[in-house]
Amino acid sequence: MSAIMDSISVSAIVQIAILYVVIYTILKGARGSRFGQALAGIGVLAALLTAFSYLFHFDVLSRIVQFLLLYIAVSSVVIFQPEIRRILMTVGAFGFLERPKHRPDGSVDPKFMVDSIIELSSLRVGALIAFERGISLRSYESTGVALDAVYSRELARCIFTPPLPLHDGGLVMRDGRIASAHCIFPVSNRPDLISRGMRHRAAVGLSEETDALVVVVSEETGDVSVAHNGRLICLTGDATRASLLRWVAKALPADPRGRGVVRLLSEPLHRLVARLSKGDGR
């Protein structure tokens, strides 16, 4: 084992990492397209023929497979020109470094969710969003309108903007998706909340009966508050976004992609690209 480890140089590890990132980027860009389906089929067929020729020592078949792969590689440039052009444009525009708004299962990314809430706050659009955790919120869902929709900024604004039909009531998030809107939450009767609006009292009331995290955006002031375990926490100042992101990240489902090599390499590049796009030269 030590001899094998000694034979692996730092240069080899770097080359493998670069090759891994390139292949991952190509496969991610080709996913769901005709080029991706053809690439998967060619890969499976080539692997089977290569394994078959290697096991039975069919030299002629092995040469034919190599010739066919070279021919397919050249011809695919012409056949799949639009798909290949789209992949190259994505790479050229740093598209593979952009943090996706939604995960493969359709759940919303916490940062995108927070940006949407901050946008509602800046527009002074009142909002009441409950994130289901351990205790089910289905009994409160039945009081509203079932949606089962992917979260987006546009949909959130359409739901909470008056006088649209769904603007009054709460939004229930389950597994990072919109489960239901226009829901009725229990109202807290605590004396210290008498001066608060119905949204804040409903947020605290739901957090008293369940373990849900409830985010409130005030229609009058645009302030953002978080209700959890019967406590109402007002987020103010420059730390509002960072504090809200910590709360929302705990309430949303964990990222199934984990901490892979590509993610570890891309996160510093995410920050670098974001700083360059803002013109921050520090």
126: domain CATH number?
A: 3.40.1700.10
- Which alpha helices (DSSP H) does the chain contain, by range? 2-7, 10-30, 34-55, 59-79, 81-92, 110-122, 138-141, 153-160, 198-209, 240-251, 261-277
Using pLDDT thresholds of 50, 70 and 90, give the confidence band for residue 80: low
Q: What is the pLDDT of residue 281?
A: 43
Say yes or no: 151 and 81 in one domain: no
Q: What is the pLDDT of residue 99?
A: 52
Say yes or no: 116 and 241 in one domain: yes
Say yes or no: 70 and 132 in one domain: no
State the chain's mean pLDDT as an integer: 79
- pLDDT surpasses 60 at 186: yes
The parent domain of residue 125 ranges over 110-251
Q: Count of domains in the chain?
A: 2
Say yes or no: 92 and 129 in one domain: no
Q: In what order do the strands lie in the sheet with 213-217?
A: 145-149, 177-183, 170-174, 127-131, 213-217, 224-228, 231-235
Last residue of a domain, one of 97, 121, 142: 97
Over residues 154-178, the mean pLDDT reads 92
